[in-house]
């Protein structure tokens, strides 16, 4: 045992301690609260530090396309992961779908609006009255894309489109509702859950839009041992329990 301890000390002196690296993760804004906590657990378990950058998946994908130094991409929909895959900018062998979510209608916490049983027949535009409906930009931000799908399938997009307060991310839409600047917002259930300033007044049936799916993958050419360790960690039970506690559906 004494010899083993001596050899261990010599190895540290010669080669240095095991290297701890940063892992730069470009992640959908809706992952902010949960992934910050997961990052703490990852650091404790591996010694590697998570360096997250949160924004709309569309904005992050375009930044990666332009050469931003991301090592991992975590999208809030398949579209933007597919976009990067089509440009050979992710490592396809590392891609997997990890999480799911639910689309909800949120109102300020002090709103008199009662809980609604949302169906394709629910007149969302009428519920907003003379106010606007905050959500992500329906041309690019996943939350807005899902909402647009729901309204198109319900035949209501024409009525709703002109009432939108389109934002650059789902967390920005949440902030509009928190400040009472709009009577309604369409966000994810996990976003509404982190705020005491909003309440959920309705849940969109999953049949009204595509499945809300969060794929993760390594960015091509940026693969490191630490980045791979992060992808292994988020698929482990400890990380999954954190995501589940924050309201995500875990695959």
Pairing of strands 96-100, 133-136: unpaired
Which pLDDT score is estimated for 200? 98
pLDDT of residue 248: 98
Residue 149 pLDDT: 98
Are residues 197 and 168 part of one domain?
yes
Same domain as 69, residue 50:
yes
| Tens digit of each residue's pLDDT (9 = 90 or more) over 145-182 | 999 999 999 999 999 999 999 999 999 999 999 999 99
Contact assessment for residue 184 and residue 103, using Cβ atoms and an 8 Å cutoff: no
Domain that holds residue 233: 2-100+214-250
CA distance 156 to 249: 28
Q: Are 175 and 219 members of one domain?
A: no
Q: What is the CATH number of the domain that holds 149?
A: 3.40.190.10
Same-domain status, 95 and 43? yes
Between 3-7, 178-182, 193-197, 198-202, the lowest mean confidence (pLDDT) is in: 3-7
Q: Span 63-82, mean pLDDT? A: 98
The pLDDT assigned to 1 comes to 39
Residue 7 has pLDDT above 90, yes or no: no
For residue range 20-39, what is the model confidence (pLDDT) as tens digits? 699 999 999 999 999 999 99
The number of domains in the chain is 2
- CB atoms under 10 Å from CB of 32, counted, come to 20
Give tens-digit pLDDT for 89-101.
999 999 999 999 9
Angle at 191 between CA 59 and CA 71, to 5 degrees: 40
Q: What integer pLDDT is reported at residue 3 of this predicted model? A: 40
Q: What is the pLDDT of residue 210?
A: 97
Shared domain check, 124 and 34 = no
């Amino acid at each position: 045992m004494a010899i083993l301890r001596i050899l261990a000390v010599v190895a540290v002196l010669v080669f240095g301690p095991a290297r701890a690296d940063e892992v730069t993760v470009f992640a959908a804004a809706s992952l902010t609260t949960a992934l910050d906590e997961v990052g703490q657990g990852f650091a404790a378990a591996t010694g590697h530090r998570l360096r997250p950058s949160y924004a709309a998946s569309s904005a992050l994908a375009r930044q990666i396309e332009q050469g931003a130094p991301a090592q991992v991409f975590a999208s809030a929909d398949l579209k933007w992961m597919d976009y990067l895959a089509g440009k050979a900018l992710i490592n396809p062998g590392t891609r997997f779908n990890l999480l799911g979510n639910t689309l909800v209608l949120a109102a300020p916490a002090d709103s008199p609006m009662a809980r609604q049983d949302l169906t394709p027949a629910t007149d969302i535009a009428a519920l907003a009255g003379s106010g606007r409906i905050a959500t992500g930009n329906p041309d690019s931000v996943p939350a807005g894309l899902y909402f647009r799908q729901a309204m198109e399938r319900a035949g209501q997009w024409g009525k709703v489109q002109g009432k939108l307060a389109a934002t650059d991310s789902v967390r920005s839409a949440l902030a509009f509702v928190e400040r009472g600047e709009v009577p309604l917002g369409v966000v994810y259930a996990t976003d509404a859950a982190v705020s005491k300033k909003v309440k959920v007044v309705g849940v969109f049936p999953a049949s009204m839009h595509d499945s809300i799916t969060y794929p993760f993958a390594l960015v091509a050419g940026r693969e490191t041992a630490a980045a791979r360790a992060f992808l292994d960690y988020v698929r482990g039970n400890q990380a999954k329990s954190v995501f589940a506690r924050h309201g995500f559906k875990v695959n």
